[in-house]
Structure 1
Amino acid sequence: MIKRALKQTFTLLNVDYVKLDARWNYRNVISPYFRIYYIDAGTGEIWDASAQVRLEAGFLYIIPSFTLCNLICPDYLSQYFVQFFEESSDGISLFENNRAIMKVKATDIDILNFRRLLEINPGRGINRSDDPSVYEKNVFYKEYQELNNRQSLSVFTETHGILLQLVSRFLTRETFKHMDTGQVPAKILNIISYIQLNLNRDLSVTHLAKKANLHTDYFSRLFQQHTGERPVKYVHEKRIERAQYLMLTTRLTFTEIATQTGFDNVFYFSKIFKKITGISPGTYKKQMNTIGSG
């Protein structure tokens, strides 16, 4: 009997081969989709909150969704890149505990996979503009989703298979922190899923503890023991992550986003947003206009 099943699926957004120069210099990049690079020449750098990673020829790099980073090319850099969305049956990202840049040595198969992605998905680069105020809009996400819907079953399946292969390269013990869900109480796993799927609803500790049929104090200790965070902080982080996604992909006002992510008002939303990200929603919105492609 098969006891393991992958809950995540990956949907292509963009794939391309590009040659970059010193204009590829972007700060505070954060996107609702994943990026994987294969560098074939030149050098560059990516910084996230915890480390500075050198981009160099012969290596693969992954930037998980909602990973804040800086992208820099001092002189010349050529790369294959693919951008894709993740969907999960329980709302929990495969990289839930791995929001950091990862690097692995590329293989011949990795290179062939990128070339094959380009071959079966022509015209899927960021063609209209490198300016995110142009390309990071919900209307264009829908446009690319429609392109996926038009793919033949063969191409759609092969594309997903290649994305799975590329993602799998970063799931080794050396690079990937894996939470053994077998040791996490089912009640806590159920609450994690409940939070992800109900961010706009009441997620107070009292409510969550009642949902888990546990005493509030015991629930809080148990939740922190198995997630590393207190329930309130965890909920705030997931709500702000969702807010960032909405700010990148829709034209909703801050008030509308606050409502959709479960905040009582826009002022409290702004306070928690700055506490989690270090900047205000308004500053974050402006910084989106400096996010580069690739």
Structure 2
Amino acid sequence: MYEVKLQANHLPKIREAGHMKDTEGTLRHPDRTMESINVFFYVKHGAIHVFEKENEYRIQAGGYLFLKNNTPHWGGDFYTPGTEWYYIHFYADPSLDQKDEFSPFHNSPILLDRTYSSQLTFPKSGSVSHRECTEKQLSSMIHALDSPSAFSALQACSLTYQLFIDLYSNAINGQAGTRSSRIISRMIEFLHRNKHAKLVSKDFENELEMNYAYLSSLFKKQTGKSITAYKNELLIAQAIDLFKTSNLNVTEVSSTLGFSNPYYFSRVFKRVTGVAPSVYINELYRNP
């Protein structure tokens, strides 16, 4: 499918961007292979016909397409007169090997470092729901890029990142109605509703009326973490809240949350947050 990816904590690095219009209908998409450059374009008016290796795309007004670096692409039909589009050429991200995909099911209240080091796989193509907003974003990005400011490139890259995140989230939201997504949403709701309970496999089977092995495998695939790991995140989020809002010590919080002993609690806390609870407490703003 020649998908275009970006690390979640990296801005897309623009090489060039612009707005074009073919008034006479004498142009078509270039025939080229861009070794280190990904391409994004959005059609404002008319339509653009593009091939990327064996795949064919006809992008209508209000639609967009990502083209992957180092993959041959070329134009098909000439543009219809009056075709107008925006384009962004940005450098391929070389740091994506072995990165986990960002999970749209990240409902944990803890912001963890691995959330930012995940990767985003952008939808290959699609249509925007609010064309005026998207076109305003693109216009603002090009205006920033053309600015004489020393920060013009960074500002343009930041605006492009916001545009790409909007397209990504809209595509993910469009998949929310799939069967697997509905199952995961029900599991997460069940976990949050019972975050104080000691859930076992039978509880999930009774709630979802499905085999636990299947549910566990699906959860791991969709969220990137096990059910137990997700449950631990919920428990540690409660621990952090108790550390913030009370003067309870580690042993007292461990007991409040039902851990067998404070040593096990500390191990789980460090596994989730990356630091021991005593370190986390020292770094908090706590109520007097």
- Rg larger in structure: 2
Same fold (TM over 0.5): no
Q: Taking structure 2 as the reference length, what is the TM-score of the superposition?
A: 0.39
By relative contact order (CA 8 Å, sep 6+), the higher-ranking structure is 1
